[in-house]
Amino acid sequence: MVVHGREPYNAEPHPSALDGRRITPVGVFYSRNHGPVPDIHPPTWRLRVDGLVDDRLHLDLSTLQRYESVTLTATLQCAGNQRAGLLEVTDIPGEAPWGPGATSTATWTGARLAEVLAAAGVRDAAAHVAFTAPDPAADTDPTETYGGSIPIDKALAPEVLLAWGMNGDPLPPAHGGPVRVLVPGYVGARSVKWVHRVRVQAAPSDSHFQATAYRLLPADATPARGAEVALGQVPLGCAVLTPYAGATVTAGTTTVSGYALAGCARTVDRVDVSVDGGRTWRQATFDTDEAAPFVWRLWSSDVDLPPGAAEVVARAWDSSGSTHPESAATVWNPKGYVNNSWSRVRFTVAG
Ligand SMILES: Nc1nc2c(c(=O)[nH]1)N[C@H]1C(S)=C(S)[C@@H](COP(=O)(O)O)O[C@H]1N2
Ligand SMILES: [Mo]
């Protein structure tokens, strides 16, 4: 793992540990924490469901597990993924230089949030669903515990889970165990770990992490409460994982590979690779023909490169025919979020 911080613990897998596996093993799944990982004994965990509901609920783990159990594969991506590319444009003091590894994929098991909300009875005025967790965030003053919200339409979507399982095992404490929210297709920040309260509201969460952080500001703006845009849906992007930046590969044919992830409920339909900085492109091959929303697609392409310094560039296209921006400079923003510019990796081809 590439460790960005020990306390709180923040780490991403080295690209070589992430590449080529549709499901990321728990041991190398990225960790993004604003505070300490709480140690919650599963039998003592409780979830309160309140706000704009007809009946408040108090659930324990066994009650939650009586709802229909759903297992699905979804990719989680931190809004800070690829921030390192933005820091090369203009530094952002205090924000970690995440690479392409703040993206990982797991098979998640849990109850549909929609089912739990249906049991509580959602009132007409409901517009957002807010989540709260017990971990005190180190980057808040005065100290706040972690939280966030999603619009009610997303909260009622079938892919949104109160998840207690990851890759077939109980959800580990590091990833939110006993229970976390899983919001496929949204930036990882909304998948609140160790969730203990679900509140149906007319307005978004007033948590620091919804109202001030995880918002996409114009390049010249200063972070402030309520400044637009609150991050939700992940934008289309991709990453070259092999070769990794700074690697030395043997002369001859080089296999270039990585992932691409589409936003909304779109799929990745094409990935282009260039060895001349984007003047000409060839199309990469996907590992399977199956393209599902909310899950990355793994791709690869063989290229022949002369000995010396080399650079590969990749870009993806989604099912709406959209692609993503060419340069990090055009998407630079004061908190360094969602750098979905073309993936560029420089390495050396041995002579
Ligand atoms: N309670 C809590 N939930 C949280 C966070 C946190 O610090 N505390 N970090 C969020 C962020 S920014 C991301 S990207 C994901 C990371 O989940 P992971 O550590 O399981 O990869 O959790 C989200 N949920
Ligand atoms: Mo994140």
pLDDT of 219:
94
Query: Is the separation of the CB atoms in 156 and 120 below 8 Å?
Result: no
pLDDT of 215:
95
Phi, psi of 154 (to 5 degrees): -70, -40
Where does the pLDDT of residue 237 fall: very low under 50, low under 70, confident under 90, or very high at 90 and above?
very high
Question: Considering the chain, what is the average pLDDT of its residues?
Answer: 97
Closest atom of ligand 1 relative to the 181 alpha carbon: 24
Among 235, 246, 311, residue whose Cα is nearest residue 273: 311
Section 335-347 average pLDDT: 97
Mutation choice for ligand 1 from 9, 32, 143, CB with most ligand atoms inside 8 A? 32
Section 22-36 average pLDDT: 98
pLDDT of 196:
98
Question: Is 105 exposed, middle or buried, given 0-12, 13-18 or 19+ CB atoms closer than 10 A?
Answer: buried
Model confidence at 264: pLDDT above 90: no
Amino acid at 243: P
Q: Rounded to the nearest whole angstrom, what is the distance from the C-alpha of residue 77 to the centroid of ligand 1?
A: 10
Maximum pairwise Cα distance, the chain: 71
Q: Rounded to the nearest whole angstrom, what is the distance from the C-alpha of residue 279 to the centroid of ligand 1?
A: 38
Among 207, 208, 9, 174, residue whose Cα is nearest residue 106: 174
Model confidence at 33: pLDDT above 90: yes
pLDDT of 104:
98
Where does the pLDDT of residue 191 fall: very low under 50, low under 70, confident under 90, or very high at 90 and above?
very high
pLDDT of 120:
98
Closest atom of ligand 1 relative to the 79 alpha carbon: 14
Percent over 90 (pLDDT), the chain: 96
pLDDT of 228:
84
Alpha-helical segments (H) within 122-171:
152-155
Model confidence at 36: pLDDT above 90: yes
pLDDT of 222:
86
pLDDT of 64:
98
pTM of the model: 0.97
Burial letters for 23-62: b for 16+ Cβ neighbours within 10 Å, e otherwise? ebebebbbbbbbbebbebeeeebebebebbbeeebebebe
Model confidence at 351: pLDDT above 90: no
pLDDT of 343:
98
Burial letters for 126-162: b for 16+ Cβ neighbours within 10 Å, e otherwise? bebbbbbbebebeebeeebbbbbbbbbebbbbebbbb
pLDDT of 207:
97
Q: How far apart are CA 140 and CA 133, in angstroms?
A: 14
Model confidence at 223: pLDDT above 90: no
